[in-house]
Amino acid sequence: MRLALAPIPFFWPADVVADFYATIARTAVDIVYLGETVCYKRRGPTLAEWLAIADRLADHGKEVVLSSLVLVDGEAELKATRRLCANGRYRIEANDMSAVALCRGTPFVAGATLNIYNEDALAILAEAGAERFVASVELSGAALTALRAAGPASIACEAQAFGRPALAYSARCFSARNADRGKDQCEWVCEQQPEGVLVRTQEDDAFLTINGLQIHAGQPISTLGEIDAMRDAGVDILRLVPEGRDTGLVIDAFRGVLDGRYSPAEATARLTPLTGGVNANGYWRGTAGRSRLP
């Protein structure tokens, strides 16, 4: 199995992004996804800067994929998606059907936000040129096994194995609303929240994370103990969502299990500072996502 690093979901300044990927280049991750997927208004790296980062990662032997916006609801977003899909150097992770249309006939990755729940949808995307798909995070192991068995064998499967999953998307900006601002007057408040805004329950449990146009879980999921089951279900690539400066630790933990250097229990213990010992695997087991089942 290979390891993939999902695009950074949060708004980090361009210099912070460049430094982050300089560190990632020296890790044992196989595939790196790059790009702004959350909000077109974020003034992070330009496309030229993303391509420069991609070139440096490719020089280190990484497979690089450029990720498109999750929501394309205006001409500006569509123009940005066109430029991205026409880059001519790196394949695209299509996270919106507009990107699928622009990539038709060339190899691309079908993102999780395309909501692929049955073999017919998977076959349509494979016919359009998808070489692999990212499974929706809430798909259980049993559901994904059935999908892989019924869908086209030619398409590879990637599934999220670590990180705070995105649970909801909206054209409205949650971060701006939380700061009592309108979306068009946001003043890039999310740049001041490099890990989003954590929402806690009355019992002080981490519940949700506000991140611009997206709502994420409050705690990362972790399927370190499910790797063999994921392989048996037809998962080819384990997807890790960046967790700030500790992402290298996450990559090492998963690579260590795949290489036999760590047991799942040892790797899980190494990630306790990030997970708080939660290590949710409920989605994979077909129950509430934030649950932890042995």
Q: d(Cα 40, Cα 198) in Å, to the nearest integer?
A: 23
For residue 283, count other CB atoms closer than 10 A to its CB.
Answer: 25
Q: How far is CA 10 from CA 121, 130, 178, in A?
A: 29, 26, 16
Q: Where are the alpha helices (DSSP H) in 39-96?
A: 47-59, 75-85
Q: d(Cα 168, Cα 243) in Å, to the nearest integer?
A: 19
Give the pLDDT of residue 277: 79
Q: Is position 150 within any domain? A: yes
Q: What average pLDDT is seen over the chain?
A: 94
More confident residue, 209 or 275: 209
Q: Is position 273 within any domain? A: no
Give the pLDDT of residue 112: 96
For residue 47, count other CB atoms closer than 10 A to its CB.
Answer: 14
Q: d(Cα 220, Cα 9) in Å, to the nearest integer?
A: 13
First CA to last CA across the chain, in angstroms?
23
Number of domains making up the chain: 1
Q: d(Cα 210, Cα 176) in Å, to the nearest integer?
A: 10
Going across the sheet that includes 214-217, the strands are 166-169, 214-217, 206-211, 197-200
Q: Is position 235 within any domain? A: yes
Exposure string over 63-91, b if 16+ CB within 10 A, otherwise e: bbbbbbbbbbeeeebbebbeebbeeeebb
Q: Is position 233 within any domain? A: yes
Q: Is position 258 within any domain? A: yes
pTM score: 0.96
Q: d(Cα 145, Cα 126) in Å, to the nearest integer?
A: 18
Q: Is position 170 within any domain? A: no
**SS (HEC) of 55-120:** HHHHHCCCEEEEECCCCCCCHHHHHHHHHHHCCCCCEEEECCHHHHHHHCCCCEEECHHHCCCCHH
- For 85-117, the pLDDT digits (tens) are 999 999 999 999 999 999 999 999 999 999 999
Amino acid at position 214, single letter: Q
293 pLDDT tier (thresholds 50, 70, 90): confident
- For 123-166, the pLDDT digits (tens) are 999 999 999 999 999 999 999 999 999 999 999 999 999 999 99
Give the pLDDT of residue 231: 97
Mean pLDDT for 47-62 is 98
Range of the domain at 146: 2-164+220-266
Amino acid at position 253, single letter: A
Give the pLDDT of residue 30: 98
What is the Cβ-side half-sphere exposure of residue 136, based on CA atoms within 13 angstroms? 16
158: domain CATH number is 3.20.20.70
Q: d(Cα 202, Cα 85) in Å, to the nearest integer?
A: 45
Chain centre to alpha carbon of residue 82: 21
Q: Is position 84 within any domain? A: yes
Q: Is position 171 within any domain? A: no
Give the pLDDT of residue 187: 83
258: which residues sit within 8 A by CB, 6+ positions away?
1, 3, 227
